[in-house]
């Protein structure tokens, strides 16, 4: 009781920062403007910087890359970042006990989302670490009749849903371990590790409106799946992942999982509607647009479109008011198009023109409409400038052209 009151006082003190009082938020998408660079509530110097004029950040349409924290998640985490700072492995005092209780509650929340037992959840630093633990198991136990199948539940580039239940059934009948990286799927589509016969599953916090730097791995107990620890130390997490469990982060992950379980149906319905809207509106206004990925088995929140005769990077740069990503790895040093698009047989030229639109829990209809409008406008403009487009309009078949060598 005293602790909670103290936390409330501390929270109020932290947020009561002196400085220019923000104007009342304006409505719709015409937002008020922050005139300072991001800073903490503790003022460094209180002199207000002179305003050049409104500076707005882009709309966020890249939820496959990462998601914002849900306010309910931050609310759950805060006490453990302020007053409840005990080490959950401390056995001898209340700080440790309350931290451990929070950790176990979070474990239950994660387990409940995927139909697992809490003893089967090990906290890690993210899905990447979980994937490494799962794969290492294969190296550790390599025998003629042991192998591992590892499949992404929902692809992060084109949003395709893999037939997990069927794969699980096949693996189980052949006595082969089945691992799935469910980072993009957990909390968005219903998953049950027993129905789908999953032996290992990777979970990522920051893909489901939870904090970054935390994840979990699900490791089946019945029949027992043996894994080898990646990092050794004090034997925490049943010896499978040593290191102090970061209570605030795992509480955030647990809260994110609980919120996801409650909101899954509502979010899915809404995201499907917005996804339909985006695709229909783009396709009815622009010719030669291809959606990558099987439309039947597709998660609606991840839309990958290829705009023929337009280069993906130039479209991304033109859409500077919207935070997007292209499906290809153009932004990296290599100019190779995405391996996913190549694997599904996309033509080279279409693979270079792909853009990934991400729709999430917080995406609004207005944001989708704005994105569609800008996308149509810029694709038309870029096509006007494109000699390839001109040739296509004149009826020339591009595949018949013999490009001269220099």
Partner 1 sequence: MAASSRAQVLDLYRAMLRESKRFSAYNYRTYAVRRIRDAFRENKNVKDPVEIQTLVNKAKRDLGIIRRQCPLSSGIKSHAQGLQQRQHAVGPGCAVWKGCGMEEPSPKIMGHLNL
Query: From the CB of 365, what's the least distance to partner 1, in Å?
Result: 6
Q: Using the structure block, give the residue that is written with the tokens 């809490």.
A: 118
Q: How far apart are CA 324 and CA 285, in angstroms?
A: 20
Structure tokens at 333: 């040093």
Residue 85: count other Cβ atoms within 10 Å of its Cβ.
Answer: 13
Q: Does 41 bind partner 1 (CB under 8 A)?
A: yes
Site string for partner 1, 369-388 (x = CB under 8 A): xx------------------
317 binds partner 1 (CB under 8 A): no
Q: How much is the CA Rg of the chain, to the nearest whole Å?
A: 24
Structure tokens of 295?
């439309």
Of 33-41, 174-182, 246-254, 297-305, which segment contacts partner 1 by CB under 8 A? Answer: 33-41
CB neighbours of residue 62 within 10 Å: 17
Q: Which of 3, 6, 17, 140 binds partner 1 (CB under 8 A)?
A: 17
Nearest CA among 165, 241, 255, 147 for reference residue 210: 255
As beta bridge partners, residue 150 has: 179
Burial (CB count <10 Å: 0-12, 13-18, 19+), residue 104? middle
**Residue 163 interacting with partner 1 (CB under 8 A):** no
The backbone torsions φ and ψ at residue 290, rounded to the nearest 5 degrees and listed phi first, read -120, 135
Question: Which residue is listed with tokens 């950790």?
Answer: 103
Q: Is 6 in the site for partner 1 (CB under 8 A)?
A: no
CB 286 → partner 1: shortest distance, Å?
19
d(CA 296, CA 300): 10
Residues in the chain: 406
82 is an interface residue for partner 1 by CB under 8 A? no
Contact 241, 229 (CB under 8 A): yes
46 contacts partner 1 (rule: CB under 8 A): no
| Shortest separation between residue 208's beta carbon and partner 1, angstroms | 15
Q: Judged by CB, which is closer to partner 1: 54, or 213?
A: 54
> CA 197 to CA 170: how far, in whole Å?
9
Among 3, 6, 29, 385, binds partner 1 (CB under 8 A): 29
Size of the site for partner 1 (CB under 8 A): 47
- Annotated active-site residue 330? The verdict is yes
Task: Output the smallest distance, CB 168 to partner 1, in A.
Answer: 34
Phi, psi of 177 (to 5 degrees): -70, 145
321 binds partner 1 (CB under 8 A): yes
Q: How far is the CB of 85 from partner 1 (least distance, A)?
A: 19
Q: Which stretch binds partner 1 (CB under 8 A): 234-242, 304-312, 346-354, 363-371?
A: 363-371
Our CB check for partner 1 shows the closer of 182 and 359 to be 359
Stretch that binds partner 1, among 52-60, 80-88, 166-174, 339-347 (CB under 8 A): 52-60
Under rule CB under 8 A, residue 13 binds partner 1? no
Which residues have C-beta within 8 Å of that of residue 159, sequence separation ≥ 6? 293, 298, 299, 300, 301, 302, 303, 304
CB of 323 to partner 1, least distance (A): 9
Closer Cβ to partner 1, 146 or 377, answer by number: 377
Interacting residue ranges for partner 1, rule: CB under 8 A: 11-12, 14-17, 19, 22, 25, 27-41, 54-60, 68, 71-72, 74-75, 78, 266, 321, 361-366, 369-370
> Catalytic residue numbers?
330
């Amino acid at each position: 009781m005293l602790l909670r009151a103290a936390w409330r006082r501390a929270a109020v003190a932290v947020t009561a920062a002196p400085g220019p009082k923000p104007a009342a938020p304006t409505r719709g998408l015409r937002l008020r403007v922050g005139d300072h660079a991001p800073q903490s509530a503790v003022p460094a110097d209180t002199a207000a910087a002179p305003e050049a004029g409104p500076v707005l950040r882009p709309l966020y349409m890249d939820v496959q890359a990462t998601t914002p924290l849900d306010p309910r998640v931050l609310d759950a985490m805060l006490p453990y970042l302020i007053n409840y700072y005990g080490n959950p492995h401390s056995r001898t005092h209340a700080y440790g006990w309350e931290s451990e209780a929070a950790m176990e509650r979070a474990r239950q929340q994660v387990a409940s989302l995927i139909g697992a037992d809490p003893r089967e959840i090990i906290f890690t630093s993210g899905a990447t670490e979980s994937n490494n633990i799962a794969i290492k198991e294969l190296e550790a136990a390599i025998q003629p009749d042991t192998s591992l199948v590892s499949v992404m539940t929902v692809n992060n580039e084109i949003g395709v849903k893999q037939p997990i239940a069927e794969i699980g059934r096949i693996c189980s009948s052949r006595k082969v371990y089945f691992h799935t990286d469910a980072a993009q799927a957990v909390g968005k589509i219903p998953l049950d590790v027993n129905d789908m016969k999953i032996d290992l599953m990777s979970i990522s916090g920051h893909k489901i409106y939870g904090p970054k730097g935390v994840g979990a791995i699900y490791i089946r107990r019945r029949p027992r799946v043996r894994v080898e620890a990646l990092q050794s130390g004090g034997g925490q997490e049943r010896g499978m992942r040593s290191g102090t469990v970061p209570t605030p982060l795992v509480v955030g992950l647990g809260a994110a999982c609980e919120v996801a379980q409650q909101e899954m149906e509502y979010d899915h319905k809404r995201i499907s509607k917005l996804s339909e809207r985006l695709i229909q509106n783009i396709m009815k206004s622009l010719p030669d647009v291809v959606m990558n990925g099987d439309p039947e088995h597709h998660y609606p929140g991840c839309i990958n479109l290829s705009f023929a005769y337009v280069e993906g990077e130039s479209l991304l740069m033109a859409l500077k008011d919207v935070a997007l990503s292209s499906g290809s790895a153009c932004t990296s040093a290599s100019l190779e198009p995405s391996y996913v698009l190549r694997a599904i047989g996309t033509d080279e030229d279409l693979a270079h023109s792909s853009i990934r639109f991400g729709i999430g829990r917080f995406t609004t209809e207005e944001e989708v409409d704005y994105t569609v409008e800008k996308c149509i406008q810029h694709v038309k403009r870029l096509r006007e400038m494109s000699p390839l487009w001109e040739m296509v309009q004149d009826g020339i078949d591009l595949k018949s052209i013999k490009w001269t060598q220099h």
